[in-house]
Structure 1
């Protein structure tokens, strides 16, 4: 009912037509070019510093290597981190003993964080991003949890590891893998003072080792006795001597009471403390949820991980002999399955015989016994084992095999599986190469702008080997896990290819990763020489992510401490990406800029010179037209005065004659004067024709007496009505005609002066109308036309500095025009001021745009004309701005391996020069100089104008 009423009401009222949108018509290719121009930012850049005035990041950036970097021992950075970590732990322990207090970590105080419900140690910078809801109930120190705490109990082994309630199975799997090799975990757990409660660890991050110091507080599953109201009441109902103590021993004592990772032994502490240190290094426990085993192994060992898929293995026998059999010696392995499966429902585990999909496992050992290829694998959960061949209790196990493989049954998450079943049930492997003291590492970092259409970047790395060596080349980006929520709106996948200088074909390309996108690598043997590493980085826009600027804006008020914590990690990581010029690059840049400036100056000089000369020619034509107008006006005024003088003389001479005879005589004389005045007008003035000789008369004397200077005085008027009518009749037509000629726009070419001037006397009835038109027209005549004023302030026919008064509606006194046709400015400055100065003509009304008449007719004259919609506005407001910090590490056994960053090159006047003002330089945000539309350009333009003006001769304005 309501809808029909609305319909009838709307139909009865006239519909206002929608304004027609203006459509800019242009070729399709131009539209596409404009779209891409708006799509990509004109100012590429990346935030390199989150915190204001971050001294630590600035100091680190200043110490970052630049230029050619030569190799160091792979363990040198590790040794430095170990020394710093031990020194820090020792200082803290001394301080705590001095004040008789246990160590409380001020930067990661989990007890205060939980009690005050701050949750900075649990949640990330942006809340709500947690995969799992982390909800521990209480916090206790190690001495309060364990009755007889011990850091290591018979060493750190894979069997000790049990995952807690965090989603860090990938990290636990890595620890299992390290547990299979002697002393690997000992190299991570560096220093400790257990009585004071301080522990020091080192981790590998972005090509360098970092230290992390923590206290001994750990999260527990159960609440404290005084805070657990429901459980407290239940325990109080049990008839016990001390319900509180019983509750503490049952719920808050031993490894089983820990909320996160726990050792198998009830009193062993290394695993939960190491997990806590790893979480602190990354900011919080939420940041270590989800990952890949290979990445964690890299962080714990400094190795290099390659992602391998079972379907991509070319020779499985070679893979077994050359790689799998070297586990715990040269390589460590993690494995997983279901990464590409669309699994769901209750059969997500049983379909693979209890191999858990999307879960990380570690390979602990590989043995080939009696023709059987078998592998020992562990689930970091400590349960859910393989149920196929060679599983616990399967028919393959005999007492002999139990002894050969030293295996015991038990649901501890550890099982054996055949190589054939391993390849069948697991889809991917994380293979991590380990480096000993015989290896050296060289690395360089830079920042580059990534285009939307991926291709090999102009910036590349140049690697020089001095001797044959096995080489591992790693191209990596920053580990974004350390600064989650600040990683930006782009994800990057890395690729590179290796070429030897002087050869056309490439040697090898990096193995692309589907899952582990932090780095790509190749492992090969190289001969001495210089090699180029060309990078191809693909950027993807992630629309739901916020930019670092937006995250800072949203968190700086209410999450200050957390932003400082994550921002510091961000700044320290990005410090190495700031592009710093070497001395050679600075010299090349200055030479390049000097050449570019000279080229730009030369081009601009030519453009300005051509523009100014063109304007000068236009001004000469305008001044020439003004001169001709002034000459015509002067001749017209002279003729008018001559007619008046002739008329007066004729009246005086024939005073005694009758009125008719006098008028007839005057007409005859006037006709004679007209015949004389009808001369041919040239550019130099009026060419006189032979005069009619009727003998001396007062008319001739009066005509001869007419002055030819600019100071002509009008003849005395007669009190004769007929004479005044005749004067007006003669004046009006010529004046109106002349005014109309002056008001018309000047032609492009000079008018043809050979045509005679129309001096015909119109009848009196027409003269009055023309006179009125003439008087009205003079009101709109510009002063520049009336006075004949030149652009330099002079007047046509007057000397410089002579003032000519102009009153609207009046005709100025005639002046003398120079016989030559020379027009010169007083100075070059007066010429410059005249450029682009047009005659002061009335403005031309603009033509309404297409469709405007329709819109105005429909909506009324007050309706605005719709502006053209910019289809590229969405790109201009949020353009493509993908900038990535990348580094190249080269591991080799060569004594002297060096890396140099090579910037893009450009051709300048036939020469190839270094162009350091490239996309990588712009991406770093350290471009020298000002914006192209800023002050530098204006100053440069002024310099060019000065040079051009000095090069123009003074007589260039001569016609």
Structure 2
């Protein structure tokens, strides 16, 4: 006995699973290549562009954009921008201090008021646009005199041992400060001016090729809440432990000294330079979250104006040369930082796990190289962890067997968990995977820079926009291609990220000189160092774009924040507008003149095209009118003939006295439709009808020849001059009158009037060919028309259904028309004005002439890309540092009909690149 469940399933079978059911097969409706072409056409926008202005009527940004140099840009001293920013910063601090003393107020920064922002729960100084962090946040804000008992900006100058990281992921920035502390006066160059009594401080930072100033007040975030703002439970417990003046003891324990600060702090309890510098860096970027995470090399660039190159230990060709020519120049020409574990987590490894520590070296964490020494054949480096704790445990670490009193004196080292340790060069290369090397520039260098905006295609190749660089003397140069630092306008970055690459060509030479060093991690800039002879060079850019569609566009961010975070949107939007003002394209006089010439040429070509279309329309109208007149004439003649025959029939009382031709035709057609004829073969029926049609056509042609004389060609309307010129071409073969008559004959007019004489004589061969074609067309069309009147013709000898044929009519001859009213052919209707292909509109002609079927809409398969197409636009700038002679840069934009650039990567052999094909 079967189980009930099985019986139920058998009696009521369930439908097959979805995966088993056959899915409908999509029919291919056009050629594969055309499908691909249509996809790419929809994928890329027809109107590439970028949002250049967030705020309405941003006069400040527009004013700055109007000052951008157009055309050729000449160089200037590399430190000129720094000197200008430092002077402006110093003047601003003095002006604010004077104003505050006048009104007896301490300075409160209206643009970065962290106390008001925290206690009103706005968090504009903590979080960027489009994000609200769920991390722990500061509980209070106080001024410097309320935090420190004896506050001082420096105690013994800025030193690396002062740096301790707070509750923010800005180790990259603090590691850069540690590197700066090793070179005298580098930190002092950033901290320009201050008035500690008033509480105003001025700093400068390097941004997008120029120095900017930042002014802040002396308020800082604290870890603990104020006494009266803390919870009742917290106050009760603290009062029980600290009887007496609990509030004073609470402030002494939780809100006094460097240890009370929420973000970065100095190791000294009264030193203030580090937390104030960190606050200024956060304000310059918009908020504290903007400086969470980064690369030490980029931070060193922001603090020095230098140029950083990313180096991986596996890419170093000669490690001895790297030590002698670069590492040994640390704190002189270069600053170095290092990190490890760049790719450790690609297989799911937990970076925070204790198993990931490499002899206590933290993965994905920035360290700064403080010093390099080579003593007695030992290559040693001093490295520092910005946390102020956590050190290397291998050879030459604190307490290792390598240390002796002599070595401690030679290296001036003391043991202690302060984050500083020594490591051998071999261990450094083995334990650390990457280096950020930053080259510093002094007063003996000059800088030349130019910015522009370029459209980035999906398939990356060298862009048609390029930079032209001219040197007057042989000189060492550093070439840097940069994009805007989007850290300054977090939330408005958009959906696209860019990777930069360039190559350097010398004009007039075939091969390129050098290509930029590619970066894995840092994407803000790429650079190369070399020495160049005087001459003109071209910098060709290759920019790769990647899209993240889950990210908000600037338009989305504006809509989401325009009501709730107005002040933050204004602050970030201003930073965005100022940055993108650099990329505003301003035409040179030569470009303006070239654009005007192109516009004039385009207008003339369009006007010429419109005139040609008008002439063509007039010619078609003339030809159409001529055909209509001829058609009306033929119709009138046929009607008159029909009426004449009809009148003759009415005069005849007996059928025998009718038209002999009509009677014969009626008898033969009736005989063709009898059952005996129908039951015959199809070939016999077709042969009989074809013979009768040919006979009738011959009789009609004879009658037409005896008709009215041909009209005078001189009386016909003449075509315009252009049409006459076209008629004189030998390829036309005949004048317009002949073309019109040929067209009418090809369209199958059964009783066409052939008595119209041509306006120009034809050759006998052409007459014979035309007569043969006309006769064939008439026969085929008349045969098809008569064949439709034969019912149930057998196919391949099969018998037709048996039915008795109606008796022959005795009321008169059989007529093709079912009633007495005159019937018109569908192609000869008075209502139709289309007689041949020439009568169709121009766009119809184009469709008919296609070699392949037109594309058919496949539905919404590509709607995703068509509604939101690829639109990657990048603002890029070229900086060239040089020592000798002068340097100039000009942006060369693509001309019309310019050829694509060649490739340069020999590893792309599979794609068809040939070395000898380069131009």
Which TM-score applies when normalising by structure 2? 0.76
> For the Cα contact (< 8 Å) 1:468–1:894, is it kept in 2?
yes
Given candidates 250, 260, 271, the residue that maps to 1:247 is: 250
Q: What's the RMSD between the two structures over aligned residues?
A: 3.9
Q: For structure 1, which segment, 896-905 or 614-623, has the greater mean C-alpha deviation from structure 2 after superposition?
A: 614-623
Deviations 1:823-876 (A, max 9, x none): xxxxxxxxxx998599xxxxxxxxxxxxxxxxxxxxxxxxxxx98523212211
Corresponding residue for residue 82 of structure 1: 86
Q: 1:168 to 1:22 in 2, by over 3 A?
A: closer
Q: 1:683 to 1:611 in 2, by over 3 A?
A: farther
Give CA-to-partner distance per residue, 1:218-270, whole Å, 9 cap, x none.
00011111122333212211354311111101110010100000011111111
| One of 562, 571, 575 as aligned partner of 1:565 | 571
Structure 1 residues 176-207: Cα deviation after superposition (integer angstroms, max 9, x where no partner): 00101111111111111111111111111111
Structure 1 match to 2:358:
352
For each residue in 1:16-61, what CA deviation from the matched residue of structure 2 results, as whole angstroms up to 9, or x when unmatched? x999787452211111111121111222111111112211221121
CA deviation profile, 1:309-331 (whole Å, cap 9, x unmatched): 11111111111111111111111
Specify whether residues 775 and 175 from structure 1 end up closer, same or farther in structure 2 by C-alpha distance, changes over 3 A only. same
Task: Report the counterpart of residue 267 of structure 1 in structure 2.
Answer: 270
| Aligned CA distance change for structure 1 residues 785 and 321 (closer, same or farther; 3 Å) | same
Q: How many angstroms apart in 1 are the aligned matches of 2:397 and 2:550?
A: 45
Corresponding residue of 2:481? 475
Q: 1:452 to 1:749 in 2, by over 3 A?
A: same
Partner of 2:892: 902
Match of 1:799 in 2: none
The alignment partner of 2:189 has SS state of coil
User: Which consecutive unaligned segments of at least 5 residues does structure 1 have?
Assistant: 648-661, 672-676, 689-744, 792-832, 839-865, 915-959
Change (3 A) 1:310 1:533: same
Secondary structure at the residue paired with 2:220?
strand
| Match of residue 30 from structure 2 | 26
Equivalent residue, structure 2, for 1:223:
225
- Matching residue within 631, 645, 658 for 2:637: 631
Alignment match, 2:868:
878
CA gap 1:215/1:239 in 2 versus in 1, 3 angstroms? closer
Distance 2:826 2:751 in 1: 23
Q: Which of these residues, 169, 180, 183, is aligned with residue 182 of structure 2?
A: 180
Shift of 1:593: 3.2
Contact 1:623 / 1:790 at 8 angstroms: preserved in 2? Answer: no
Distance in 1 between residues matched to 2:586 and 2:387, nearest whole Å? 47
Pair 1:782–1:428, CA change in 2 (3 A)? closer
Residue 2 (structure 1) shift: 11
Query: Structure 2: how far apart are the matches of 1:211 and 1:663?
Result: 118
Match in the other structure for 1:105: 109
Summarize the Cα distance change of 1:370–1:636 in structure 2 as closer, same or farther, 3 Å threshold: same
CA distance in 2, matches of 1:577, 1:3: 74
- The answer as to 2:195 corresponding to 1:193 is yes
- Between the two proteins, the alignment pairs up a number of residues equal to 760
Match of 1:510 among 491, 510, 516: 516
Aligned-partner SS, 1:785: coil
- State the partner residue of 2:409: 403
SS at match of 1:905: coil
Aligned equivalent of 1:887: 877
Q: Is the 8 A contact 2:745 2:752 kept in 1?
A: no
Counting only pairs closer than 5 Å after superposition, residues 510-549 of structure 1 correspond to structure 2 as 510-549=516-555
Q: Which residue of 262, 277, 281 corresponds with 1:278?
A: 281
Query: 1:784 and 1:358, CA in 2 relative to 1: closer, same or farther beyond 3 A?
Result: same
Residues 888-917 of structure 1: CA distance to partner in whole angstroms, max 9, x if unpaired?
111111342111111123449xxx999xxx
Contact 1:905 1:913 in 2 (8 A): no
Q: 1:440 to 1:867 in 2, by over 3 A?
A: closer
Q: Report the Cα distance in structure 2 between the residues aligned to 1:467 and 1:288, rounded to whole angstroms.
A: 41
CA separation in 2, counterparts of 1:892 and 1:526?
Answer: 10
Secondary structure, aligned partner of 1:765: coil
- Matches of 2:593 and 2:895 in 1, distance apart? 15
CA deviation after TM superposition for structure 1 residue 471, in Å: 0.3
In structure 1, the partner of 2:319 is: 316
Bigger drift between 451-460 and 169-178 goes to 451-460
Q: Contact 1:348 / 1:356 at 8 angstroms: preserved in 2?
A: no
Check the 8 A contact 1:349/1:356 in 2, yes or no.
no
Distance 1:361 1:599, change over 3 A: same
User: In terms of mean alpha carbon deviation, does 893-902 or 373-382 score higher?
Assistant: 893-902
**Residue 175 of structure 1: CA displacement?**
0.4
Distance, in Å, in 2 between the alignment partners of 1:62 and 1:6 is: 80
Equivalent of 1:171 in 149, 163, 173:
173
Q: 2:628·2:833 contact (CA, 8 Å) conserved in 1? A: no
- Rounded Cα–Cα distance in structure 2 between residues aligned with 1:515 and 1:877: 33
Candidates 125, 131, 137, aligned match of 1:127: 131
Q: Does 1:94 align with 2:98?
A: yes
Distance of 2:501 and 2:101 partners within structure 1 = 53
1:55 aligns with 2:59: yes
1:633 deviates by 2.5
How far apart in 2 are the matches of 1:439 and 1:80? Answer: 17
Q: 2:634·2:753 contact (CA, 8 Å) conserved in 1?
A: no
- CA shift for structure 1 position 78: 1.1
1:785 maps onto 2:827 in alignment? no
State the distance in 1 between where 2:529 and 2:447 align.
14
2:294 is the alignment partner of 1:291: yes
SS at match of 1:900: strand
Q: Which of 763, 767, 773 in structure 1 is aligned with 2:819?
A: 773
- 1:362 aligned to 2:364? no
1:763 Cα deviation from its structure 2 partner: 8.2
Look up the SS of the partner of 1:279 in the other structure: helix
Q: Distance in 1 between matches of 2:833 and 2:240?
A: 113
Q: 2:153 is paired with a residue of what secondary structure?
A: coil
Question: Is the Cα contact below 8 Å between 2:350 and 2:356 reproduced in 1?
Answer: no
Distance 2:125 2:648 in 1: 108
In the TM superposition, residue 360 of structure 1 has moved relative to its aligned partner by 0.3
Contact between 1:190 and 1:202, CA under 8 Å: does it hold in 2? yes
Q: Is residue 147 of structure 1 aligned with residue 149 of structure 2?
A: yes
Q: Within 2, Cα distance between the matches of 1:889 and 1:790? A: 69
1:60-75 pair list within 5 angstroms: 60-75=64-79
Alignment partners' CA distance in 1, 2:489 and 2:13: 58
**Cα distance in structure 1, aligned partners of 2:318 and 2:616:** 72
Alpha-carbon distance in 2 for matches of 1:4, 1:191:
92
Tell me which residue corresponds to 1:205.
207
Query: Structure 2 stretches of 5 or more lacking a match?
Result: 16-20, 662-698, 711-743, 756-781, 783-807, 844-855, 902-919
Q: Which residue of 2 aligns with 1:652?
A: none
Structure 1 residue 687: Cα displacement: 6.8
Distance 1:539 1:479 in 2: 16
Cα deviation code 1:367-389 (max 9, x no counterpart): 22222221111110111111222
**Cα distance change, pair 683–42 in 1 and its aligned pair in 2 (3 A):** farther
- Cα pair 2:290 2:487 within 8 Å, conserved: yes
